[in-house]
A and B are shown apart, each in its own frame.
Chain A
């Protein structure tokens, strides 16, 4: 079996599905085992690489930015803001009188904007019905595989500040 095929007027399928049994190429057991073994090594190496990368990963430090005043939104209310840059939409939810959470608004599936579903107290992505927990941003159901990145908040003098991003994908 050659790796490269010379340019030819006969179509490729004619080569692959030859009329003559003598020209048929079957994968033999040794080739298949070799393929499996090498692919497994490749997979293992890739996984180790990802593991190493995530172990060595540090959350990038972002500048502290004001988000809202404490009394700006009512309980169950929502405010959208941009953090850390103007192109990163985030959503702030006041879940209780003195309980605020903020997440990136980009769904981890295909980056649709998630919104707060007040009746069931969760974040919903309307594009493909992905649902995220309001307490930690974990996926409840739907196609997303990763939790929403969380915006760490800090209260200071009646003001909420975003201080960093947590759980951003590597």
Chain B
């Protein structure tokens, strides 16, 4: 709306978790962070990844919501669930290919990143992007990101046969145009390949 877009670059994340704390400060959901924060492979590396909701153009979470509680607003933001409507059924939690929505049991409601709608709709940057020291979460103008980063913003994802385009960009190697994720590639198979059973 104000010419700025959200860029996520997990390779820049230093694991400081400032974004979690900043997100918790928000008055609309005080104490509950909407940031999805992962330790990528804790046994092998200290790498971490913090990311926000991707705000899909055709949001799966909203498509599967039986209570019409998740809406995509006209400026492209997919809102958190509407409290009067959400029935805490977890459909969105299970359906989101990015694993973004989280059911908050004490509120019996799904809560997820709405890109600080109170701030971004007024031209301010989201809380996480204002505090991120390495700008792994960045809310800047497209020309700024093109001028300051080697990576290229990508917003097309493939999950198996499901193509998803998003409002939030992932910073990917320069030759990348799409990011394809096949869940089967990440299924843990132990130390050994599957051995056919001998009959």
Contacts and interface: CB of A to CB of B under 8 A. Distances in A.
Interface string B73-101: 11000000000000000000000000000
Contacts of B70: 19
Interface residues of B, number: 10
Interface in B20-76: 58-59, 62-63, 68, 70-74
Most A Cβ at <10 Å: residue of B59, B63, B70, B72: B72
B62 A19 contact: yes
A63 to B, nearest CB: 65
Nearest to B61: A19
Contacts, number: 17
A19 B74 contact: no
A19 B73 contact: no
Contacts of A19: 58-59, 62-63, 70-72
Nearest to A16: B68
17 contacts: A17-B68, A19-B58, A19-B59, A19-B62, A19-B63, A19-B70, A19-B71, A19-B72, A20-B71, A20-B72, A20-B74, A21-B71, A21-B72, A21-B73, A21-B74, A22-B74, A24-B71
Given A19-B72, A20-B71, 7 more contacts: A19-B59, A19-B62, A19-B70, A20-B74, A21-B74, A22-B74, A24-B71
